[in-house]
Structure 1
Amino acid sequence: MWGKILGACFGFMFGRIVGLFIGLYLGHMFDKSLKKNFDKAGGFSNLFKGDDDINQRQALFFSSCFAVMGHIAKSNGRVSETHIRAASLFMDEMGLKGDDRKEAQGAFKAGKEADFSLKETVYDFKERFARRHDLLQLFLEIQIQMAFSDGVLAAQEKELLQEVSKHLGISKTHFAFVLKRYQAEFSFRQQQQRYQQQQNRQQGQSSSYREGSGHHVPPNNGMSRTQALALLGLNNEASERDVKVAYRKLMAQHHPDKLVSQGLPKHMMELAVKKSQDIQSAYEYLKKAA
């Protein structure tokens, strides 16, 4: 618009009527080029992105996550009581109540339907979070957690998890890495529960805090070096440097505030906190055992 106006004015000044038309044409070409570049940059929508954009991403993560969880829970043809209990516990951990809980239950139920499209749901999710690799990985970890809720990964569940991983653009090698890491995490949490139950029986409710952090650090009583390394995704040949690199990378991937700013629903922030605590616990153990 302004290109046409200015082009016409300058053209008229230097060439009267003929100059006006030449200036108008050149201004039109300038406006067209400017608009094309502006649209490519996102147009006016980029000027108004903010909380609404984050809210939309969080809503998509929330609904997609519970829908895929429901689909995986029904991989054997029916949803077991263990999976229902696990989904309910997951909602409790997130503090979901009222409409938020109903929305989660509705998405979980939708994932169980015969006409649910896993490929389309995960593809749409990936398109929205394409450059947020940490969120894509956390999404996969949540699905692995659902599949492992009964302590056993059935063949059908593993096939679905591999399909989810493929649609997310995660390689087979990295899927195997994430799966192995979660198995170590699952084993560690079971050990924590047994230890905590024993402590409660002996001396009542107790908890430990890492000095100066204010963050709860789960007890690591009985943790072996092999288990701690596996939780960090490492094997027994790992060096001290390998441990530090793996620890820093995993802590960065699971940083709660960063994940929430990228689109993780605030309700799910506790999940990232717990994963960070497990990683911290394993690292602290390895530092002391060194």
Structure 2
Amino acid sequence: MNLFGKLIAGLLGYLILGIPGLILGLLIGHLFDKGLAGIAADPRLSDPVYRAKIEASFFRLSFQMLGAMAKADGRVSEMELQAARALMQRMNLDEQRTAEAMTAFNAGKSPDFDLDAALNEFSEVVDKRKDLVAFLIQTLAVMAAADGHLDEAENEFLMQVGTRLGVSRAQLQMLLRMMAAQSGFHGQTRGGGQQGGYQGGGQQPPHVSEAERLEQAYWALGVSQNDSDATIKKAYRKLMSEHHPDKLAARGIPESMRALHTEKAKEISTAYELIKANRGMK
């Protein structure tokens, strides 16, 4: 049983009691344990053709979903279009890849877009790769929050996509809660200051207390304030490992999208530093 499985077994009681911080054990453990364990053993990943097929499918579906999500509230606003273009610039897409992204985005927001067909195609390509399903949801959440917030329609759309790909609503809610907590540390120094504009969906309002911010840091790591220092360190190291560029590449995450996930590593690191300082950890 790996770290995530142990978190499930050891902390499930807290979840039943309603104490937050068990997202990592319940969600990531459930989604990633088998999927990540099977990555190294999957001989297809050494095939550049198969890897390219996964990357192309992930890239295309992500922007199709972004387009479909933009129209989830009934119309695609100019602000949403601008946010999509800004996201492509943030990903440093070249002219060809930008054109591919816009084609997929426009397909997703068209009235005749077949959501089920697109998701079925992706499922066939990834073939039970639960890790990629989870990373797709994370990518969509980051992309959706590129305009500064994740509204109710976008949140519900993510729920629909996740459940159609085999993830329960409870697990999705926990994933989005953890990501929102992480986003609260976007663009901030380890001391809590800002480093330029905020791009995520969890911007810190000025009235957030130190206690609330600390609670958010625990959520960001998927741990509880009742956990030991050792447990918190293990959870942090595991999260950082999962967001390492090499690990992302090994899963078939397109290079242009890896930056979105490595940004999450910075947020996680900032949250961890806050917890360390509060606990006096070394």
Q: Same fold (TM over 0.5)?
A: yes
More helix by share: 1
Partner of 1:249: 238
Task: Map 1:129-168 onto structure 2 (within 5 A).
Answer: 129-168=126-165
Report whether the alignment pairs 1:67 with 2:56: no
8 Å CA contact 1:73–1:146 kept in 2: the answer is no
Q: Which moved more, 1:127-136 or 1:167-176?
A: 127-136
Partner of 1:264: 253
Higher relative contact order (CA 8 A, sep 6+): 2
- Cα 1:124/1:101, change in 2 over 3 Å: same
Partner of 1:279: 268
What's the % identity of the aligned pairs?
Answer: 35
Per-residue deviation, 1:120 = 1.9
Report whether the alignment pairs 1:122 with 2:119: yes
Deviations 1:146-167 (A, max 9, x none): 3334444433222211111112
Query: How large is the RMSD of aligned CA atoms in angstroms?
Result: 2.7
Q: How far apart are the structure 1 equivalents of 2:267 and 2:45? A: 38
- SS at 2:136 equivalent: helix
Per-residue deviation, 1:251 = 2.3
Q: Which moved more, 1:102-111 or 1:247-256?
A: 247-256
Report whether the alignment pairs 1:225 with 2:214: yes
Per-residue deviation, 1:246 = 2.3
Alignment: residue pair count: 222
Report whether the alignment pairs 1:187 with 2:184: yes
Q: Which moved more, 1:129-138 or 1:264-273?
A: 129-138
- For structure 2, list consecutive stretches of 5 or more residues without a partner in the other structure: 1-42, 198-209
Larger radius of gyration: 1
Q: How far apart are the structure 2 equivalents of 1:246 and 1:184? A: 15
Partner of 2:226: 237
- Cα 1:62/1:82, change in 2 over 3 Å: same
8 Å CA contact 2:187–2:195 kept in 1: the answer is no
Q: Which moved more, 1:257-266 or 1:63-72?
A: 257-266
Per-residue deviation, 1:235 = 4.0
The one-letter code sitting in structure 2 at the alignment partner of 1:196 is Q
- SS at 2:72 equivalent: coil
Per-residue deviation, 1:261 = 2.2
Per-residue deviation, 1:89 = 2.0
Q: How far apart are the structure 2 equivalents of 1:194 and 1:248? A: 23
Q: How far apart are the structure 2 equivalents of 1:152 and 1:272? A: 18
Q: How far apart are the structure 1 equivalents of 2:79 and 2:221? A: 28
Q: How far apart are the structure 2 equivalents of 1:247 and 1:74? A: 36
- Cα 1:272/1:157, change in 2 over 3 Å: closer
Per-residue deviation, 1:194 = 6.9
Q: How far apart are the structure 2 equivalents of 1:89 and 1:268? A: 14
TM-score under structure 2 length normalisation: 0.70
TM-score under structure 1 length normalisation: 0.68
8 Å CA contact 1:177–1:233 kept in 2: the answer is no
- For structure 1, list consecutive stretches of 5 or more residues without a partner in the other structure: 1-45, 199-221
